Structure 1
């Protein structure tokens, strides 16, 4: 990669005095995010310090910034800042020639293959790092510029499609939660929201009521009653649900069926 790019270097290897005020921004790994350079918790250095660092490492708009040190090694972004700034050595600077599209290089550096290759070669004791030499020796495919544009466009369309699918799944989940609420209403006679949605979209039952058997005779279509029997004749609803492996809407629909069949006692108002 070193032979194909204009420059591969990193920021200063000696952390200079920096603080909340100064003449120029001082950027480190904590500021490098997938969406760009974020200025949360950014610090500043004097013009004298900046000039010394910038003479060797001069990030400009459109350059690639790659975290090469520490736990977040591999995060890479395109510099979205118009103003000049200084960098710490935890961030590498990659400058593309006209024959390499920066958005294409970004995709290549974010690929699972490149990420694994760089992470596998990290060295160091207190803080592991990818060396500038290893970055320079790394191999990446460089198709003709027209093909690079085509790849970037194709990936962009696919990412847009993924976002649309994610939105559709979210809407479907909302409908499912409403169905679950309706099922609860049918079971206990009160319209209460039963489900919270975790960050990973996993359904979580918030009911803490107890389910009990009416009697120990039920047909082969019963799902909930046998579990309650196995648990001693009464059990926490959440524990029973987990054992059924049903979704929440399916569980509540099945619970209503078994209550109507007099297999399971109608629960009192649940504690939500």
Structure 2
């Protein structure tokens, strides 16, 4: 290994996304190619070890104590073009021990022999973590399962467990024998000169894994590493004493990687806390001048405060919070007073009622100034949402439910179609025109505001375009039809603000399925400025959101470039490309289980729908159940999950594991 080259690349690798994992790959690769420890003349050579192993193997075969693989034994060893130290030799697991052996237990003692059963979940993805299981009678688990014993090496052969590194050296089994998932490959050394821990390093190295991933067979989500690859992959083999030194050095370096990982996590936590503190200081500004000064401090430290695209979500929330507090734009004395506009709205509604174009409207009490949720600028007022809307009401499910859906017809908008940046109609359902006519009371009109009122997507809000045609909505979506459509954009951003989102999440009603009722929504206290100022606020928010888009895009590009650079650095140092093209997974597979657990509970103003769902379900759910309750597209679910993990509201999920099909 070129130490200068490694040090030059170290920073690129360690600080990239997944950088510590890259460093671990380097350690494994250097370990099994003779670049991690010095060779010693007194160790002798690998030739004598291989000769001795071959002798033991021949003897075990003669005694019928060795499980042979006749179809594999005729295959020639084909080593890659990698230089090895002079004392090393190329070998294969097939030549060093048994592949997927069977444990031998006397039949008359099976009923009293106890063994350890180890499920896939008990094998860690981390380095050198012992496996665990439960003790059962051997007679119950001897058939239909993989066999192993202390000193064996386990490797998960299915996707995604193989890609995630699930493997182990079996240690600490009670009664020495074990059984477990059928989705393990097992190697059992036949000589003490073959160190199981060194074999473990090899199957975790890019030398083994890169080509291994490309060799997997089967369909997406059900791929497996073939036995022939596991048994026949060319393996660099050092003398016995050097194997032990390599294992010790790797353990030492992995401990350093652990420390570096902890340091990075602490640094990230400090960054998150600092960013939140500065953003809160900006939000607490009491005047335009104070806001200008605190924003300047924020802008000066953008590079230190924002390092991932997910961080920008807090900045977006801050902008919306400042908008509804009246701190984003200057006020003007020439704006039409809000009171004048409110009288016009009242007159318009009365005229529409008289013409029987809208039903008789509920009378709403004013919001007393002493009950304002927060102070407002001069000229603003809190008004009830019902005061400024002709209609607030949810849709309904058509009689017959999904059975009445058709391939073409009137769009039927459900919660998964309602997004903050607009309607998404790629998976919209359709209902016949006659069904739409029967549901005329829940028909959508141009310029309506649509709000999700139940489920995990509670609070998502979209504007219906002015040129939108006919549509209807489900019972999970409410229509807010404003008396003056000129305010729709301001009302939209107000609904998305932390202030209103806190009301939405905090004022739900119902026992079986919580949600927002019409009566509750009508009473929402909306901070309302004069119409001209609303338009200036909307324009300013749009400008700042474009800045957020740019910042987000820049951070994303930086992470992508950093990751590619780290990958290239590892490939340069190891001579092996470790990246394989991934097949997109559009939805969690039924057979995949990834427990998601609640972390630090979010504050009431935090936009954390997934953490909120978890809090209502004992703090833990499977990824699939959580996704279904979220109610959106899978890509949006994963994006939201990533945001909430970054904030610590949800713990970092473990990788999905294949459910084992335990035979009865």
Q: TM-score range by the shorter chain?
A: 0.5 to 0.7
Aligned to 2:174: none
Does residue 46 in structure 1 map to residue 429 in structure 2?
Answer: no
SS of the aligned residue for 2:442 comes to coil
Distance 1:23 1:175 in 2: 46
Report the CA distance between 1:186 and its aligned residue: 6.7
Deviations 1:60-115 (A, max 9, x none): 12210001122211111011372212222211111123375211111011111211
Deviations 1:158-184 (A, max 9, x none): 111111112222333344345535654
Does residue 106 in structure 1 map to residue 492 in structure 2?
Answer: yes
Aligned to 1:260: none
Does residue 63 in structure 1 map to residue 445 in structure 2?
Answer: no
Match of 1:7 among 387, 391, 399: 391
Q: Which stretch of the first structure deviates more once superposed, 42-51 or 133-142?
A: 42-51
Does residue 72 in structure 1 map to residue 457 in structure 2?
Answer: yes
Match of 1:94 among 471, 480, 493: 480
Report the CA distance between 1:45 and its aligned residue: 2.7
Report the CA distance between 1:29 and its aligned residue: 1.6
Distance 2:429 2:410 in 1: 9
Distance 1:175 1:23 in 2: 46
Question: TM-score, normalised on structure 1?
Answer: 0.62
Distance 1:93 1:174 in 2: 40
Matches within 5 A, 1:193-208: none
Aligned to 2:540: 154
| Higher normalized helix content (fraction of residues) | 2
Report the CA distance between 1:51 and its aligned residue: 1.8
Superposition RMSD on alpha carbons, in Å?
A: 2.9
Does residue 122 in structure 1 map to residue 508 in structure 2?
Answer: yes
Tell me if the contact between 1:8 and 1:136 (Cα under 8 Å) persists in the aligned partners.
Answer: yes
Tell me if the contact between 1:181 and 1:194 (Cα under 8 Å) persists in the aligned partners.
Answer: yes
Report the CA distance between 1:10 and its aligned residue: 1.7
Distance 1:177 1:139 in 2: 46
Structure 1 segments of 4+ aligned residues over 4 angstroms from their partners? 185-188, 191-196
Aligned to 1:258: none
Distance 2:438 2:399 in 1: 11
Tell me if the contact between 1:20 and 1:42 (Cα under 8 Å) persists in the aligned partners.
Answer: no
Distance 2:446 2:567 in 1: 51
Query: Would the alpha carbon gap of residues 182 and 143 (structure 1) be closer, same or farther in structure 2, given more than 3 Å must change?
Result: same
Report the CA distance between 1:193 and its aligned residue: 6.3
The structure with more radius of gyration: 2
Aligned to 1:16: 399
Question: TM-score, normalised on structure 2?
Answer: 0.27
Query: Would the alpha carbon gap of residues 161 and 9 (structure 1) be closer, same or farther in structure 2, given more than 3 Å must change?
Result: same
Tell me if the contact between 1:68 and 1:92 (Cα under 8 Å) persists in the aligned partners.
Answer: yes
Distance 1:68 1:106 in 2: 15
SS of the aligned residue for 1:141 comes to strand
Report the CA distance between 1:11 and its aligned residue: 1.4
Matches within 5 A, 1:177-188: 177=563, 179-181=565-567, 183-184=569-570, 187-188=573-574
Query: Would the alpha carbon gap of residues 174 and 23 (structure 1) be closer, same or farther in structure 2, given more than 3 Å must change?
Result: closer
Q: Which stretch of the first structure deviates more once superposed, 42-51 or 103-112?
A: 42-51
Tell me if the contact between 2:388 and 2:484 (Cα under 8 Å) persists in the aligned partners.
Answer: no
Distance 1:166 1:22 in 2: 38
Match of 2:529 among 136, 143, 146: 143
Specify every segment of 5 or more residues in structure 2 that has no aligned partner in the other structure, as ranges: 1-384, 582-664
Distance 1:164 1:68 in 2: 31
Specify every segment of 5 or more residues in structure 1 that has no aligned partner in the other structure, as ranges: 197-272
SS of the aligned residue for 1:124 comes to coil
Report the CA distance between 1:36 and its aligned residue: 2.4
Aligned to 2:96: none
Tell me if the contact between 1:100 and 1:142 (Cα under 8 Å) persists in the aligned partners.
Answer: no
